[in-house]
Amino acid sequence: MPDTAPASVPASAPAAVPAPLVMPASGRPLSMRLDLQLIAEMVQPGTRLLDIGCGEGELLAYLTRYKDVDGRGIEIDMAEVARSVAQGLAVIHGDADRDLAFYPDDAFDYVVLSRTLQAVHRPREVLKQLLRISRHAIVSFPNFGHWQVRAQLLFSGRMPTTQTLDRPWYETPNIHLCTIRDFFALCADEGYAVEQWLGVDEAGRKTPWRRNRWLANLFAEQGLFMLRKA
């Protein structure tokens, strides 16, 4: 990460602003994953946001700089925490299963859980916490209903591995996989309103079938949802 890259600081960056946290090479930081860009687009400027599983803090750095977001992060990998904090980001070492309970109600406008829900021990409890501490929850996860996953299991009889689910069963951190339709069903059970949703491909690009649940469930590699308490 921090792309110490060069020269072409965007014209939009006022000179008085301190050194950017993530150095962009064009209007938007090239280093940011596409799925994070989709998330960034969902966030209103000047809001408070908690990014759970924030990695090296790409999204936080971007939102702090370009959307004046008061951003916090939680990350389980200590090396990534150290890099984030050294960049000046408010990141703590912790994990979603354990540490969300300590935040007060409605502490944030947004809480982001990107490609992490399937790896937590109690996803339902974590979702509940997300919507307790924040008004909106932005959640993305790999879609286990993707046709390749279905086809691999059906035809080979082995656990599927795809670009998104790229590790064998014995070493994957993903313990609670679900499909896009499963997630809709959970939201309905728990009474969460789906404010926005998208089917996206592995790189995080929006996909043409993103508006149809059945098609998205078959063709989208990931689901990206913004929820609120109904």
Partner 1 sequence: MPLSRPSPEPDEPALPASAEKGGAQPLAVAAPAGGEEDSAGGSADALDYPHQRIVFPQGLALDCGVTLAPLTVAYRTYGALNATRSNAVLICHALTGDQYVAETHPITGKPGWWDIMVGPGRPIDTERYFVICANVLGGCMGSSGPKEINPATGAPWGLTFPAVTIRDMVRAQKLLVEHLGIERLFCVIGGSMGGMQVLEWAATYPEHVVAAIPVATGAYHSAQNIAFHEVGRQAIHADPDWMSGEYWRQGVVPARGLAVARMAAHITYLSEEALTRKFGRRLRSGEALTYLDDIFEVESYLRYQGSTFVRRFDANSYLYITRAMDYFDLAAEHGGSLAAAFRRTSARFCVVSFSSDWLFPTATNREVVQALNACAANVSFVEIASDKGHDAFLLDEPDFHATIRGFLAACEAALSRPPRPPRARAG
Tell me how far, at minimum, the Cβ of 155 lies from partner 1, in Å: 44
Contact status: 14 vs partner 1 (CB under 8 A)? no
The yes or no reply on residue 129 touching partner 1 (CB under 8 A) is no
Q: Which is nearer to partner 1, 91 or 216 (CB)?
A: 91
CA distances in angstroms from 127 to 21, 119, 146, 229, listed in the order given: 29, 13, 23, 11
Q: What part of residues 37-76 is at the interface with partner 1 (CB under 8 A)?
A: 43-48, 68, 70, 72
**CA–CA separation, 116 and 55 (whole Å):** 11
The least CB distance from residue 136 to partner 1, in Å, is 6
- Please work out the total of residues on this chain that contact partner 1, with binding judged by CB under 8 A: 38
Give CA angle at 35 (10, 184), nearest 5°: 145
Angle, CA 158 vertex, CA 157 and CA 160 arms, to 5°: 120
Q: Where are the beta strands (DSSP E) in 165-229?
A: 192-200, 222-229
In the complex, minimum distance from the CB of residue 100 to partner 1, in angstroms, rounded to a whole number: 9
Which residue in 218, 36, 44, 192 sits closest to 112, CA to CA?
36
Candidate segments 96-104, 147-155, 175-183, 214-222, binder of partner 1 by CB under 8 A: 96-104
Q: Is 214 in the site for partner 1 (CB under 8 A)?
A: no
Angle CA 34–40–41, to nearest 5: 95
Cβ closest to partner 1, residue 64 vs residue 164: 64
| Residue 94 interacting with partner 1 (CB under 8 A) | yes
Query: Of the ranges 93-101, 144-152, 159-167, 198-206, which one interacts with partner 1 (CB under 8 A)?
Result: 93-101
Residue 115, interface with partner 1 (CB under 8 A)?
no
Pick between residue 19 and residue 154 the one whose CB is nearest to partner 1: 19
C-alpha distances in Å from residue 154, one per residue of 24, 131, 221: 44, 36, 18
Q: Which amino acid is at 227?
A: L
Among 95, 109, 125, 190, binds partner 1 (CB under 8 A): 109
For residues 160 and 189, the answer to whether their CB atoms sit within 8 Å is: no
| Spatial separation of the C-alpha atoms in residues 160 and 194, rounded to whole Å | 29
The only residue of 30, 86, 151, 153 in contact with partner 1, by rule CB under 8 A: 86
The binding site for partner 1 (CB under 8 A) comprises 17-19, 43-48, 68, 70, 72, 78, 81-82, 84-94, 99, 102-104, 107-110, 135-136, 195, 228
